Structure 1
Amino acid sequence: MHNESVLHAMRSETSMVDFPGRMSALFFTSGCNFRCGYCHNPDLLAGGDKCYTWDELGEILQRFRKQWVRAAAITGGEPTIHAALPDTIAFLKKHGFAVKLDSNGSRPDMLERLLPELDYVAMDLKCSLDSYPALTGWKDVEAIRRSLRLIQSSARDYEFRTTLLETLHTNEELHDCGKLIQGAKLLVLQPFVPHENLPAIALRTQPRTRPSRLQEAADILCGYVQKVVVRGE
Structure 2
Amino acid sequence: MPSTPVVCAAASLRPIKVGGVAPFTATDFPGALAAVVFVQGCPWRCGYCHNTHLQPRTRAGAVPWTDVMRLLARRTGLIDAVVFSGGEPTADPALGPAIGDVRALGFKVGLHSAGTHPRRFAQLLPLLDWVGLDIKAPFTDYERVTRVRDSGTSARRSLEALLASDVDYECRTTAHPALLSETDLLVLARTLANLGVKKYALQLFRKQGSRDAQLNAISLAGYPSESVLDEMRGRFLSFDVRRG
Task: Please give the TM-score of this superposition, normalised by the length of structure 1.
Answer: 0.90
1:6–1:85 CA contact under 8 A, matched in 2: no
CA shift, 1:151, in A, is 1.1
1:40 aligns with 2:45: no
Can you give the 5+ residue segments of structure 1 that lack an aligned partner in the other structure?
A: none
Pairing 1:127-146 to 2, within 5 Å after superposition: 127-140=137-150, 141-146=152-157
1:36–1:199 CA contact under 8 A, matched in 2: no
In the aligned structure 2, how far is the partner of 1:119 from the partner of 1:137? 31
In the aligned structure 1, how far is the partner of 2:210 from the partner of 2:120? 28
Pairing 1:43-122 to 2, within 5 Å after superposition: 43-48=53-58, 50-66=61-77, 68-122=78-132
Percent identity, aligned pairs only?
30
DSSP-derived class of the 2:137 partner: coil
In the aligned structure 2, how far is the partner of 1:78 from the partner of 1:215? 32
Task: Please give the TM-score of this superposition, normalised by the length of structure 2.
Answer: 0.86
Q: Residues 154, 211 of structure 1: CA spacing in aligned structure 2 closer, same or farther, 3 A cutoff?
A: farther
In the aligned structure 1, how far is the partner of 2:225 from the partner of 2:183? 15
1:24 aligned partner: 34
Pairing 1:79-228 to 2, within 5 Å after superposition: 79-140=89-150, 141-182=152-193, 183-195=196-208, 198-207=210-219, 209-210=220-221, 213=224, 215-228=226-239
2:84–2:111 CA contact under 8 A, matched in 1: yes
CA shift, 1:215, in A, is 4.2
Q: Deviations over 1:143-167 (max 9, x none)?
A: 2111111111214100000111123
CA shift, 1:51, in A, is 4.8
Can you give the 5+ residue segments of structure 2 that lack an aligned partner in the other structure?
A: 1-11
Q: Residues 226, 175 of structure 1: CA spacing in aligned structure 2 closer, same or farther, 3 A cutoff?
A: same
Amino acid at match of 2:131: V
2:82–2:108 CA contact under 8 A, matched in 1: yes
Q: Deviations over 1:127-177 (max 9, x none)?
A: 112221121122222221111111112141000001111233223201221
Large movers: runs of 4+ above 3 Å: 51-54, 209-212, 214-217
In the aligned structure 2, how far is the partner of 1:112 from the partner of 1:3? 21
RMSD: 2.0
1:164–1:214 CA contact under 8 A, matched in 2: no
1:28–1:74 CA contact under 8 A, matched in 2: yes
